[in-house]
A and B are shown apart, each in its own frame.
Chain A
Amino acid sequence: MAADTAFASEENGVLKVRTCAWSPPGDHPVGCGLILHVQDGKLVKVEGDPDHPITHGRLCPRCIALDEVVYHEDRLQHPLVRDRADRGKNKWREVTWDEAYDLIEAKVREIWDKYGAESIFTLTGTGRESTLYAPVYGPAVLNTCNGASTYAFSGQACYGPRATIANYLLGAGVPEIDWAQYYEDRYDHPGWECPKYLIIWGKDPLYSSPDGFFGHSIIDLMKRGSKIITIDPRLTWLSSRAEFHLQLRPGTDAAVGMGLLRVIITEDLYDHDFVEKWCFGFDELAEAVKEWTPEKVQEVSWVDAQTLVGAARAFATNAPSSGIWGVALDQSKASTQAGQCFLAIMAICGYLDVPGGIAITKPTSFIGKWRYEMSDTISPEMAAKHIVDPTGKYALFNVGAAMGGVQGDTLLNWLEGMYKDYDCYYDLKMCWMIGTNPLACMADQPQRWYEAMKPLEFIVVQDIFMTPTIMALADVVLPLSTFAEHDGLVTPNFGRNQHFIGAMNKAFDNPNTKSDLEILIDMGKRLRPELWDRFESVDQFFDEQLRKNYDFGLDDVRAVPAKMAGYEYRKYEKGLLRPDGEPGFDTMTGMVELNSIVLASYGEGAVPYYEEPEFSHISKPELAEEYPLYYTTGGRNISMFHSEHRQVPSMRAMHPWPLVTINPVVAERYGIAEGDWVRVTSPQGHMTQKAHLTEEVNDKFVHVEHAWWFPEQDGEAPNLYGVWKANANNLIPHESVGVTGYGAPYKNGICKIERVDSLDD
């Protein structure tokens, strides 16, 4: 944090600190370049860094308004404790960090002795920096088998499904568009080509900048000639600029995918050379998609047959082209089949690992390797107590997943006592939540999770603001520092396709707050000193991790706006994907597995198939008469990250209320006007949001926003900042998940709507 270092300089009493943004406040590891202006220890201005090779100064409103987060009057500034009997009440006592740590340590030791460490579990959330460190808390600090990446989330319906399927089918990290992201000279890089077509499937990246993808790069590519194909129930802004918009019924992605594959295969538009040399199981795939004629796809998915055919032809015959798959593919029961289709399309068109195609890399070992080492610190006896579905479901999730952890539906069932009669059962006693606000954001049937968590003896949560989850459940709260107040590293795509490493440089102090990593190391030293005593500082930690994996250290990363990774094309020809150095892909067959023996061995289909969503007009026609509309959820607005930013004035002003988006024709049918409160009811529950009338949705479905709560409302139970009122997850069924344990219908279901008088109706 010293003045005049490689990343900071002082000018007229203003310290300008160059940094790469991550979190908190919420965001994915995009690592955009910021210059933070600091005067007298205070952040006075945020400016985009014109020298950052990815962003060149561009920033989202959220980063521009960082000062409003840092200095918000509701920011947590001290560790807080509360009597267990006072959960739900605003009866907090400020304590010092040492007192909070003492309390946690004593309680953990007591629970270890009385119930065993397996009775402790951790929960984490999406996207934030904590995703790197949270998985370590369970095994390496709390000594429990029920840590890793565990989410209060049905079907772990974000990223995990895509990461796992890419792992098995490609033997690689998560595929991305080749947007010249690996090169310092970007779009001018010799050999790079601009993708001719981009399939944007179940994703609205402009406003979400997901996983490490700087969303507005799509605009860069469009300026350079890329044409757009969107696959989305909603008319997104990108769809309005698209050459083809495949407006599908929510949840029917696999049908559309098989339809696209069928056109490409039957019209002989695929890359024979690549398929022959590098794909396994093409014939089985061709057989599986044979019945998916454009007419049948239209009947099932509502996608216009001509549009489907046109999109398939344009995509397959314009090399190189590329695509990006979104969380919508994870958020249906058929996530595996949809993912298989996406990867198969990219593979048979010959677009994998070529300039302007789909970029794939090996998952980087950086941080990952350390995480695995640290996870390997529990005894085999402890590991054997890991919570899995005792009836034998979800073998893939439990044995072969890319992300580990306890399957979310299994966890809720366990907490609710469903498995009490099994020999393997034991009571859970303690939870530590790291970077998650599940009651507002991800928990399916959130009130069930609330009731199920209440009996726990001890709950610790860390965050930057008071949240409904903290108010409802926490006994100890640890205040986190923002990314401007601590050191760290940004690893885009969580290391699963990392185009650079960026230094997150502390620009000013907030002495009463700590980062997720600092808390991890502090508590590690207290609870498992044998693992942690060697870590002296965060800097030393990062430097060591870097040097283990690269020929550079922390200072080298700090010396530049971003340390670019570089990229080698056609790695499969050069033996650069497999650990044995042989050509091919790092899969069982050494090829891209269009027909997956691994999936079959876990009881899943080896090739894609179509399964109707559990709640639809086809699978439940009688119920659908009562619930005549479809809903989808979770479209992003740029001023908010999941459940965050609701209390940040200029961000809330951009989007003051949760909106249910309704086609004007439908609204008229129900007597609903713009701005009316509307109750949306599914067979599972209801919630209320404000009507927004627009043709972004057609007359068959509505869109509701996710993760809303109201920091301005009464925080105490039962209101809990109004967290149940507009909560999209009230609508979501519990455990309607895929065979693998992955994928849940957060974005597709049936509903009815009615006008009501207020948010409270």
Chain B
Amino acid sequence: MTAQEPHKEKPQRVRIMPMKRLTPLPLPPVASIREKMRQHPLAVNLAEHTFHEWFTTPLNGDTWSRWGCAAQMGPDGLTFDRINNVSGAAEPSDRGYARLRHTRYVTLHPGITPELSERIAPKQAPERELDRKYLAWADDAGKLAEEAMARQWRPGLTVRWDEMECLSPQMERAFDQFATYLIQAQQFCSDAMGPFIGRVHYQFMEVKTLMACELFDYNLHCAMLRKRVMSNGGGMGQQVDGFDAGVLEVCNEASQGFEGFQQRDLTGMTLALDVLFNGVVLDFLRLAESAHVSSFDRRFFRQMQQDTARHVAWGCRRVKYHLEHAPDREDVVLRLDCIAEQAEAGQAAGHLLNPQVIEPLAVLLGGAPEKAGEGYAILRRFWPQFAGNYLARLDAAGLPRRGRSLIPEQPPF
């Protein structure tokens, strides 16, 4: 993209296909374009001022499929579940139909033959890569999506910036360093999972919605933390390296950099990113909430926990659904175990024991740099929860790894 290639820089961490530039083909002369536009069959059609199929098709359940079906709103508003119950498509079918950008609410036009539909929406198109239910769906996806929207952080209504409190310079520094890590972690999640959204077939629109919320959560967290860090006397800290260890490699493997046409591994990505990585972030947020921070900062951490817990829940349900419905269950278990191992090995060393994460957290927990020892004592007592929560989640997802997990059950320090 740029002319000068700086030395010793590595390619960006989250792999993504390079951007191409279009090579223009010459356009016909303007007069010819204008003339043909005048003769455009749709223009000619409209000029006749008659209404076409949408107006004349009988409302009998064929092309116009659900005339007379109305959903009622409830105390939780007009939710996906309420809509789905009257839609005639409450659950997605097991195999996505051959269409791009087309949710399961709309009936496919009977005039489009299977051959034609394969031509207009080939399987080798991004939106159809993940078109099997076991590859993308989760039980209660609609409810999860609604919860994601209903409980999303509304900073305009809930953050009272005038209640932000000054911290001592050293505590502000510890807070800022920890927040700098959190921002990087949220950005990494956004980068790793965002491009997967476009690979999920439209019949799983609740999953797409849920993932769009997840993407937004990560970025909203970045936005709010950036404001917090850049306004309270401190500033952005030092780059934290290595916290994505193991997970990054799994995500790049799962996406293949989004190059070519092939099956992407949404499940592998969610296992590493949502179940394990977000699980670790969630525990760090719980620790931070109980640290010596102001009540303003505590509310920040609490809100982020809520959002992060939803991401973890989605990851667990995705893995569970996959394990319960994949046709080749034994192969899947082997593959997911392998992914888990790779992610655990990296995360234990790079994330859970990352000094740039643990040190500021220990200072926040202890209440001062000279009391960091008290922070480490808390971390030691807490440590079994890192391992325990993760193992319990894997149990629930149907991928038990007790006795095999590479996250030590006791603190290595």
Q: Do chains A and B interact in one complex?
A: no
Residues of B within 8 A of A (CB): none
